[in-house]
């Protein structure tokens, strides 16, 4: 992991104001290149995946303001880039979170229920906030649990009214 962090830091150091700017009638202003934006996205993904939103490196990264990379002078550009580099350097000093994968039935259920609110949020975004989708999704999910974990396949394979009965009883 140290190698990956150092690679990201080295890549970030390549992006300077001189290589990420444009000139207008009023002066020279910053404009993040496509490569720099891809690097920022990679750093963000790395931090969230390995350290999470509750970590110090992520809190440092959250101070970064993307909008300040475009249309500002060199010192503002450098300040924002340094926030990202600081977050990466913090990763060198802090251990990543340990992801425990519990593949038991209870572990899988706990994992799903812990993240169910995220599934609902994504579903609402996808369906423009229509609440009837949440209810349909929840009932389908309960039936799938009945099939997979509770061995109630015969009940879910019956008529739709039986499926509803099984879904509502879980």
More confident call, 9 vs 31: 9
pLDDT in tens, 109-156: 777 767 766 666 666 666 665 555 556 666 676 667 666 666 555 544
Q: What percent of the chain has pLDDT over 70?
A: 63
d(CA 35, CA 3): 20
d(CA 30, CA 32): 7
Q: In sequence order, which residues have a C-beta less than 8 Å from that of residue 96 and are 6 or more positions away?
A: 1, 50, 51
d(CA 106, CA 96): 25
d(CA 152, CA 146): 5
d(CA 116, CA 122): 10
Q: Report the pLDDT averaged over residues 16-27.
A: 78
CB atoms within 10 A of CB 74: 15
pLDDT greater than 50 at residue 170: no
d(CA 111, CA 120): 15
> For residue 44, what pLDDT band results from cuts at 50, 70 and 90?
very high
Q: For residues 58 and 98, is the Cβ–Cβ distance under 8 A?
A: no
């Amino acid at each position: 992991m140290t190698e990956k962090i150092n690679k990201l830091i080295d890549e970030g150091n390549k992006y300077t104001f001189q290589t990420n700017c444009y000139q207008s009638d009023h002066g020279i202003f910053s404009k993040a290149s496509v490569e720099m934006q891809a690097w920022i996205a990679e750093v963000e993904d790395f931090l969230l995946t390995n350290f999470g939103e509750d970590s110090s490196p992520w809190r440092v990264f959250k101070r970064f303001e993307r909008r300040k990379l475009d249309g500002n002078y060199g010192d503002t550009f450098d300040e924002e880039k340094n926030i990202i580099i600081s977050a990466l350097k913090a990763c060198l000093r802090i251990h990543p979170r340990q992801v425990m994968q519990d593949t038991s039935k209870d572990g899988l259920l706990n994992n799903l229920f812990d993240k169910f609110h995220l599934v609902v949020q994504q579903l609402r975004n996808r369906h423009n906030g229509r609440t009837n989708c949440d209810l349909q999704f929840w009932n389908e999910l309960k039936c799938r649990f009945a099939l997979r974990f509770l061995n109630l396949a015969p009940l879910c394979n019956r008529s739709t009214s039986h499926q509803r009965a099984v879904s509502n009883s879980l």
